[in-house]
Structure 1
Amino acid sequence: MSQSIQDFHDDPRNASIRIWVNGELKPRAEAVVSVFDSGFVLGDGVWEGLRVVGGHPVFLDAHLDRLDEGAKALMIDIGLDRAALKRALYDTLAANAMRDGVHIRLMVTRGVKRTPYQDPRVTVGPATIAIIAEWKEAKPETLQRGLNLFTVHVRRGFPDVQDPKLNSHSKLNCITACIQATQAGADEALMLDPHGFVATCNSTHFFIVRRGEVWTSSGDYCLGGITRANVLALCHEAGIPVREKNFSLTEVYSADEAFCTGTFAGLAPVRAIDGRTIGETLPGPMVQRLQALYRELIVRDVAARAAGGS
């Protein structure tokens, strides 16, 4: 049975969480936005997902950098500076007495419109900001058995159509890819770029290991992933040969190992792609090594944030 890498075991504590909406912490049932909100009407907004370890959102500054870049590209005035956003995140964690095993969704939309129409000039209020913190972790069994990927016909598009670098609320391209993969019985969609080279997955980034080298896509047709960037940096730091390059499915099918990366699950091994078994062991030696290095990086980041007081 297929299962998304984003799946998790339900936690009853999530029924009573308090959610930050435009400066107020509200019970889950009362945390609502207007039907005229730009995010609801048009998917007009940007967002970030963050993991919480030891009471701190991991790699927070990198996530806020990406949020800020997306908002600037869309000409959305967030209305809060970085210090205020950090306070809002920590206030949300404190209100829910959360320290570990937590995932945060930080969402910013252009705000409320006076009529449901795309033109940003009909927006009548400030940006809508919502912070949802939940007790949520990737299922251990999903990570243990590895992911089954299916290459879909839905492509990652050119940046002059809808730039894949934007972490926008509009995710229809990824959703249609996810639907096709799910109907094919897979866990995640592997997506190609307009030229037929491997680009990314519908909700994670994709890597392969060949002859001791780690490969990922050129990055031209995928989101600038935080975990992806961390894995690239870890490889350089550890002296592991790593390449950002174009490669085809033929090279994927004969890979020694494959894995996906994302904020929610970290590094997840891939066991099969389009019916081809990848590698001989799961997780493979390179994935195990990178998982360990990634865990150490999280510990360093949390320690630095704790020492800095935010």
Structure 2
Amino acid sequence: MVQIADKAPRTGAPAPVRERPAPRPSRARLWRGVTPWLFMAVPLALLVTFTYAPVANMIAYSFTDWDGLSPDLKYTGFENYTELFTRPELFQVFYVSVYYLAASVVQIAVALYFATLLSFNVRFRNLFKGILFFPYLINGVAIGFVFLYFFQDGGTLDSVLKLFGASTDRAWLGTPASANVSLAGVSIWRFMGLNFVLFLGAIQSIPGELYEAAELDGATRWQQFRHIIAPGIKPVISLSVILAISGSLSVFEIPYIMTGGATGTETFVIQTVKLAFQFNKTGLASAAAVVLLLIILAATWVQRRLVPDDKVDLV
């Protein structure tokens, strides 16, 4: 508070002290506080409209028997969740996710290998970067149709194998094991580019002086990767693992386009879509979607607890 002394009276007595209210914040200071919220208003509105509001509606529908068409909703409590957990066949489709989880391990390893290799001086490395990232830019539906012809009898894969004298008398999408392996292989080819770019960006952010010091000490490429690159990109590897787990549990477009969930390739998301749009059980499908969301969040929490993101210090 600002204190101002009044004029001294003629009697010579000490002047009384009068308090003045603190000045209000200036307009410039007010605008500095409001401006960030003005920039975030539109993104926040879109986020709430297209993410949080649909999730809230999905949770609300999971407690009803809505068929997706009728305007009337009947509250059924936890009946949909009880049906989910008392019908084991609804959770058996998670076994298919094991194929995609194994494919994710291969995908991360291959992407990390190429990112490490192309972070050093290699001829035509920009060309190889584009080739590796290009599949991620292609539409998933187009990829599904391309590989549908690739794996069909007498298709591209069989023609290539004939050139090497290999037998081609098997249906690649005809049995559950071969179909799931084939579809998981397609997911490796498509999503490896994303992990490759993440790893490459993280590796290039490591100071070059560390590599120069390691080379002066006679460190090999493997030793540089083990003691410099791997610890330096640990947070990005952790992120890739989280994306791999959530992606393997929520696979949809590739198996839906190529097999429609037939031949033992049905995933949990394909089953949920069929419950909602084929059997008109939107309430049960919403409950299944909520359960899948909780499983992904739980898996992410466990992974973050087991491998926390510690601060990286390579110096």
Q: Which is strand-richer, 1 or 2?
A: 1
Of the two, which has the highest radius of gyration?
2
Q: Which of 1 and 2 has higher RCO (CA within 8 Å, sep 6+)?
A: 2
Shared fold (TM-score, shorter chain, > 0.5): no
Q: TM-score range by the shorter chain?
A: under 0.3
Q: Which is helix-richer, 1 or 2?
A: 2
Instruction: Give the TM-score of the pair, scaled to structure 2.
Output: 0.25
Instruction: Give the TM-score of the pair, scaled to structure 1.
Output: 0.25
